Amino acid sequence: NAGVTQTPKFRVLKTGQSMTLLCAQDMNHEYMYWYRQDPGMGLRLIHYSVGEGTTAKGEVPDGYNVSRLKKQNFLLGLESAAPSQTSVYFCASSLVAGNQPQHFGDGTRLSIL
Amino acid sequence: AQSVTQPDIHITVSEGASLELRCNYSYGATPYLFWYVQSPGQGLQLLLKYFSGDTLVQGIKGFEAEFKRSQSSFNLRKPSVHWSDAAEYFCAVGAGDYKLSFGAGTTVTVRA
């Protein structure tokens, strides 16, 4: 009964390094999302996907790239990490958008030094 | 575009007392409304949702929320809080497209 699984759970990077966050869901959901959570700002959408092979920009896409090669996986990449990308990153998935609740992973805590 | 305001950043409540968290939304049509709870170090868990019909909706953990169109509000309530209800609560509004807009959250502290 895994739901949405994010790896890794914690990571510390140096400025300029790159990394990929992995999100996997086992609910056969079409839609997947990447959010970042910062104190006092709620969750902000970075990128989303409406199905395998598709991706689209959300509110705050700059500095991030994504890929959805398989329906169950959604990857978030940081090509050249910056301190402003220090945040908690959440992945979510849903059957369809809008009128169905999103199911969230436990988050990845990322610090950029 | 839709938006959500949670006016209270932090609420402290005594165990056994009632709790009400405010949520105001901005959207031209009938929105899809959600309340999520986030315990420390965890992801967001859905408490309840409103799409249409009865404006008083029941959720998990003894929570309920009431949709008031005239006030553009969707306040969350619990008659008697438990220490385990200490968490951060997020109201969210969806408009039928991909976008789910979240409020900034309300942190609830429960004192013994």
Q: Do B96 and A106 touch (CB under 8 A)?
A: no
Q: Which position has the higher pLDDT, B71 or B51?
A: B71
The answer for A 2-61 residues in CB contact with B (under 8 A) is 4, 31, 33, 40-45, 48, 50, 56, 58
Instruction: Note down pLDDT in tens along chain A; length 113 residues.
Output: 679 999 999 999 999 999 999 999 999 999 999 999 998 888 999 999 999 999 999 999 999 999 999 999 999 999 999 999 999 999 999 987 667 788 999 999 999 99
The pLDDT confidence band at residue B5, using thresholds 50, 70 and 90, is very high
Read off the DSSP letter of residue A16.
Answer: T
Provide, as residue numbers in chain B, all residues whose Cβ is less than 8 Å from the Cβ of A31.
98
pLDDT tens profile B52-93: 888 899 999 999 999 999 999 999 999 999 999 999 999 999
CA A8 to chain centre: 12
Provide, as residue numbers in chain A, all residues whose Cβ is less than 8 Å from the Cβ of B9.
40
What is the DSSP code string of A34-86?
EEEE-TTS-EEEEEEESSTT--EE-SS-TTEEEE-SSTTEEEEEESS--GGG-
A41, B104 in Cβ contact below 8 A? yes
Residue of A nearest to B47 (CA): A101
From B5, B45, B44, select the one nearest B27 (Cα to Cα). Answer: B5
A95 in B contact zone (CB under 8 Å): no
Q: Do A98 and B32 touch (CB under 8 A)?
A: yes
Instruction: Give the pLDDT confidence score for residue B60 in this predicted structure.
Output: 95
Instruction: Give the pLDDT confidence score for residue A70 in this predicted structure.
Output: 95
Q: Do A42 and B41 touch (CB under 8 A)?
A: no
Say whether A32 sits in a helix, a strand or coil: strand
Instruction: Give the pLDDT confidence score for residue A1 in this predicted structure.
Output: 62
Q: Which position has the higher pLDDT, B28 or B41?
A: B41
What is the DSSP code string of chain B?
--EEE---SEEEEETTS-EEE--EEE-SSPPEEEEEEE-TT--EEEEEEE-SS-SEEE-GGG-EEEEEGGGTEEEEEESS--GGG-EEEEEEEE-SSS-EEE---EEEEEE-
Q: Specify the residue for token string 């968290």.
A: B21
